[in-house]
Amino acid sequence: MLLLRGARQLVTVRGSRSPRRGAGLRELGVIRDGSLLIDGGTIEEVGSTQRLANLAKSRGARVIDVAGKVILPGFIDPHALLSFAPPSLESFESRIAGARVAPARSSAGHGHSLRSASLSAICKRSERWLRMAAAHGATTAEVRSRRHVNPSAVFKELRAVRNLDGSPLELVAALTGGPSPDTAASPADEQLRLLTSLLEDAANKLLVRTFDLDCTDVEVSAERIADFLQIARQRGYRTKVQAARRGPSVAVAAAVEAGAVSLDHAIHLNERDVDLLSDSNTVATLLPGLAFDDGYGDFAPARRLIDNGAAVALATGFGSGDSATLSMPLVMSLACRQMRMMPEEAIIAATINAAAAVGCADRLGSLEPGKQADVTVFDVQDYREIPYYLGLNLCVLTLKNGKMIFPYRLPSKAAGGSGRTASQARREAQ
């Protein structure tokens, strides 16, 4: 047993295993002077410190004193990629100078590195970033392959995701496909044949069950999108769609009509698009870090989506070539400042709604008995401080399945003793 004791605020996000909408995005379920009892990898009890201290099963538990701090569910990043190539500094400078760099160009360095690097080298370089994500409070991420013409490159990237699962984050692998600038002119039958082969091989060899249709930089008709998604669904895949980032896209209506789990980017939406998303089960996954790095202020209309009743999630987009942050707290800060999301909405979008976008809201995304013990602790006195501070990492503790993944070592004082504080544990580990 492990007892996190005496939090100033315990943010539970309890009461829902489906994405929150509307007013539900403000209901955090905060317990003041709260404690959390963990049995192995599962949450056993959530409640006031006084109640949990009097439970027989709390006796003898190892204690971490989190007095004056805030406990939250571990953050879930529903859109990230492995980052194993040197940063594209030329693209960075070009954006500073005012050029719009296409995602395909900005990701070219990863394509070259993927072909030349060994699987072990890719994993070693990527694990560094995953540990940093844990240090910012993340416990789970959906990691997508890049869209490659060469299937062997796709499988190498997906094998790396599989090998990195649990190092230290839980990783959900997603296969990205669709017409690229190199294949967009190919006949429709040939494109469908290539995608069918890729989906079947990925399912058989790598047990991948999520397909991400990338429409970011290639114009794809609604009919073609429907064909791609139908092929994926027929082979047992959960489907997602990335909409165009530079202008209006038919992908919104096509994704909703096809029952896609999520629509990513969702930047240039008209009123019909907002209505369609609001009346659907498709989660709008927003990536303000990409918009911020782009430098042109093209942020998704989160306020309109939320006020209209859409389910909204937040993601970093790290590793995509244009996003240089893996910090979910920074993404939340940008969502509040640039997209007018309230702090409560940003937290829920990064927890239970992000869990729904990844397909794991039944076990992750909130702090409730029976759910997985994925927890993060911040050295703040109020949850609103997490998005308030811009670029500061105030995370002091991250648990995955009840095990400490940041700062990587668990203090072991029995209940009734003083225990170590989360800050002391972090300093000792460093």
pLDDT tens column, 190-234: 888 888 989 999 988 887 999 999 988 888 888 989 999 999 999
Q: Are residues 119 and 218 in the same domain?
A: yes
Q: Are residues 338 and 244 in the same domain?
A: yes
pTM for this structure?
0.91
Q: Are residues 162 and 299 in the same domain?
A: yes
Structural domain boundaries enclosing 262: 75-358
pLDDT tens column, 231-249: 999 999 999 999 987 777 7
Looking at residue 69, its amino acid is K
148 pLDDT above the threshold of 90: no
Q: Are residues 390 and 328 in the same domain?
A: no
Q: Are residues 280 and 406 in the same domain?
A: no
Final residue belonging to a domain, choices 358, 381, 403: 358
Q: Are residues 166 and 309 in the same domain?
A: yes
171 pLDDT above the threshold of 60: yes
Q: Are residues 149 and 224 in the same domain?
A: yes
Separation CA 158–CA 295 (nearest Å):
31
270 pLDDT above the threshold of 70: yes
User: How many Cβ atoms from other residues are within 10 Å of residue 339's Cβ?
Assistant: 23
Element (H, E) at 228: helix 222-234
Taking residues 150-167, report their average pLDDT: 91
Q: Are residues 20 and 84 in the same domain?
A: no
Separation CA 417–CA 430 (nearest Å):
24
Q: How confident is the model at residue 409 (pLDDT cuts 50, 70, 90)?
A: low
pLDDT tens column, 342-388: 999 999 999 999 999 999 999 999 999 999 999 999 999 999 999 99
Q: Are residues 138 and 54 in the same domain?
A: no
Q: How confident is the model at residue 181 (pLDDT cuts 50, 70, 90)?
A: low
| pLDDT of amino acid 103 | 55
Separation CA 268–CA 246 (nearest Å):
8
Four-residue CA torsion sign, 422, 54, 11, 33: negative
List, in sequence order, every residue forming a beta bridge with 2; answer none if it has no partner: 38, 62
DSSP 204-217: HHH---EEEEE-SS
Separation CA 204–CA 417 (nearest Å):
52
Q: Are residues 391 and 350 in the same domain?
A: no
Separation CA 68–CA 308 (nearest Å):
36
Q: Strand 62-65 and strand 70-73: pairing?
A: unpaired
Tell me what percent of the chain is helix, strand and coil, each rounded to the nearest 5. 40, 25, 40
Q: Are residues 204 and 87 in the same domain?
A: yes
What CATH number does the domain containing 87 carry?
3.20.20.140
Final residue belonging to a domain, choices 306, 341, 358: 358
How many domains, the chain?
2
DSSP 80-117: E----S---HHHHHHHHTT----HHHHTHHHHHHHHHS
pLDDT tens column, 27-55: 999 999 999 999 999 999 999 999 999 99
Q: Are residues 333 and 405 in the same domain?
A: no
Final residue belonging to a domain, choices 358, 389, 416: 358
pLDDT tens column, 310-342: 999 999 999 876 678 999 999 999 999 999 999
Q: How confident is the model at residue 67 (pLDDT cuts 50, 70, 90)?
A: very high
What CATH number does the domain containing 61 carry?
2.30.40.10
Lowest model confidence (mean pLDDT) among 91-95, 113-117, 134-138: 113-117
Contacts with 400 (C-beta within 8 Å, 6 or more apart), sequence order: 74, 134, 139, 168, 169, 170, 374
| pLDDT of amino acid 418 | 47
pLDDT, greater one: 103 or 270: 270
List, in sequence order, every residue forming a beta bridge with 301; answer none if it has no partner: none
Q: How confident is the model at residue 183 (pLDDT cuts 50, 70, 90)?
A: low
Q: How confident is the model at residue 71 (pLDDT cuts 50, 70, 90)?
A: very high
List, in sequence order, every residue forming a beta bridge with 395; answer none if it has no partner: 378
| pLDDT of amino acid 349 | 98
